[in-house]
Amino acid sequence: MIDLLRRIGLWGRGVVVAIPYLWLLLFFLVPFLIVFGISLSEAMLAQPPYAPLVDWLVDEDAGTTKLQILLNLSNYLRLGGDDLYILAYLNSVKIALVTTVCCLLLGYPMAYAIARAEPAKRGPLMMLVILPFWTSFLIRIYAWIGILKANGVVDNLLQWTGLTTEPFELLYSDWAVYIGMTYCYLPFMVLPLYATLEKLDPTLLEAAADLGCRPWKAFLTVTLPLSLPGIIAGSLLVFIPSVGEFVTPELLGGPDTLMIGRVLWNEFFANRDWPVASAVAIALLLFLVVPIMVFQHVQGRQTEAGR
């Protein structure tokens, strides 16, 4: 009897899990397979604008039907052969790395300071970091346009102090992209860093100090290694989406700020070349598979550690 009840319970669980499971299979996993399929197809003027991979060829004279499967590798060959794509991938990685390092340099002291603050103050201080994340990403990027453009806030300030006499424009350059992306992704870095730093046992540092360790050395040998999981989680949380970033380089970057997200967008919307856009997406995904898996590993361990 109990066994039967257990079975019904387990069956009920199965049904419950099945709903989000099927949703994610259909709307998250299957789409990647379709993208992969279309990346092997050929662009053509049609609705939708690509040739079908699988086709039934009916030969009326012979009275036979043939199944034809066409696989077209030329989209990938184009990615490897054209400097534009390779440069875009390399530049995306460079911009994402710079963004990650800037977030780390700015976010680590913030997370550390909040973790060392009085317990009652930590919540509100952390809230102040997360709050901008709740306001629109697009609008936060927009705010920087007014600051960085010629005759904008920075320019006016520099001219007023006499540091420059000519109009000085940071907007539409790689610098503007670094600033904008650091600005937007900073909370993603501070959050996991704070989570690990807050759990750090302060008696460890006291023990190091008692044994004659200087504060800096104690930081380097105790705090930094122990906060490594937070550093890794935060860095990946910033790095992975940054590589495929589109909005920030489009609004703050110059026409020569080449990033792979922009290339994909243009292939899709401007050139209407869906197969090449799909190939770009698959190549980007392959590049990100390893970082994403490392992130999932770290994320899983973090959640388990919450027990």
Site for another protein in 100-129 (CB under 8 A): 106-107, 109-110, 112-114, 116, 125, 128-129
Q: Pick from 172, 264, 273, 276 the residue near another protein by CB under 8 A.
A: 264
User: 78 CB contacts (<8 Å, ≥6 apart)?
Assistant: 85, 276, 279
Decide: is 131 part of the binding site for another protein (CB under 8 A): yes
Residue 20 found at the interface with another protein (CB under 8 A):
yes
Per rule CB under 8 A, count of chain residues that contact another protein: 90
Report the residue from 76, 137, 168, 175 that binds another protein according to the rule CB under 8 A: 137
**Is 292 a residue that touches another protein (CB under 8 A)?**
yes
75 binds another protein (CB under 8 A): no
214, 132 in Cβ contact below 8 A? no
Q: Where are the alpha helices (DSSP H) in 136-201?
A: 137-148, 153-161, 174-199
Distance of CA 169 to the CA centre of its chain: 28
Calculate the alpha carbon distances from 197 to 41, 131, 222, 233, 236 in Å.
49, 20, 11, 13, 17
Residue closer to another protein (CB basis): 115 or 174: 115
Tokens (6 digits) for 281: 């997406």
* Window 177 to 206, contacts with another protein (CB under 8 A): 183, 186
**Per DSSP, what are the bridge partners of residue 58?**
65
Is residue 266 involved in binding another protein (CB under 8 A)? no
- Binding flag, residue 217, another protein (CB under 8 A): no
Residue 217: other Cβ atoms inside 10 A: 11
Restricting to residues 140-159, which ones interact with another protein according to CB under 8 A?
140, 142-147, 149, 151-153, 156
Dmax (CA) for the chain in angstroms is 94
Is residue 272 part of the contact set for another protein (CB under 8 A)? Answer: no
